[in-house]
Amino acid sequence: MKKSKQLIIGTLLLFLSLFEVGYALSSSTLNINGTAKISGSLDVQFSDVTTTSNATASLSSDNRILTISNVVLNNPGESATVNFKIRNMGSQDAILNSFTFTGNDDADILITFPSFQEGEVLTGLTGERDNSIVITWNPTSYVAEKTIEFSAVLNYQQQL
């Protein structure tokens, strides 16, 4: 009797094992492992700054602020020039969304900013633009001494 019970239990276990094996063989899971590499840096910078000898210019550590100083104009008609590039170092195309100039409305010291246009696009990684700012003592000015401040703020955005 004991032997026959063992035989029945053994048979059931074998049956269950076979069932499990059979089930495992009858399903399959497939996986697609995907990666979207988002190279999303928008990185527009100033670079390649040069000046005439009567002015100096420097860049901030992130190359996003250009400071022009020590502009010395001794006589009416004299001018100083600052040349620089704007480069898109990021991978995304950048569009000039807006810009603001200040200080370019003085009658004695004339500031000529580059002719930016809203909507200009600097393509990612390769886009660049050559620019010049010219500071001129108005030849018709009779002021003896004067200091002005000027600025240009360029707002680039990722092109959509």
What does the binding site for another protein look like in residue numbers (CB under 8 A)? 25-42, 91-93, 124, 158-160
Which CB sits closer to another protein, 5 or 37? Answer: 37
Nearest alpha carbon to residue 73 among 27, 125, 110, 19 = 110
Q: Shortest distance, CB of residue 93 to another protein, whole angstroms?
A: 6
Q: Shortest distance, CB of residue 18 to another protein, whole angstroms?
A: 13
Q: Shortest distance, CB of residue 145 to another protein, whole angstroms?
A: 45
Q: How far apart are CA 98 and CA 87, in angstroms?
A: 17
Q: Shortest distance, CB of residue 143 to another protein, whole angstroms?
A: 45
Residue 134 in 3-state DSSP?
Answer: strand
Question: What is the identity of the amino acid at 135?
Answer: I
Which CB sits closer to another protein, 8 or 32? Answer: 32
Angle at alpha carbon of residue 59, lines to 58 and 65, rounded to 5°:
120
Which CB sits closer to another protein, 1 or 36? Answer: 36
Residue 132 in 3-state DSSP?
Answer: strand
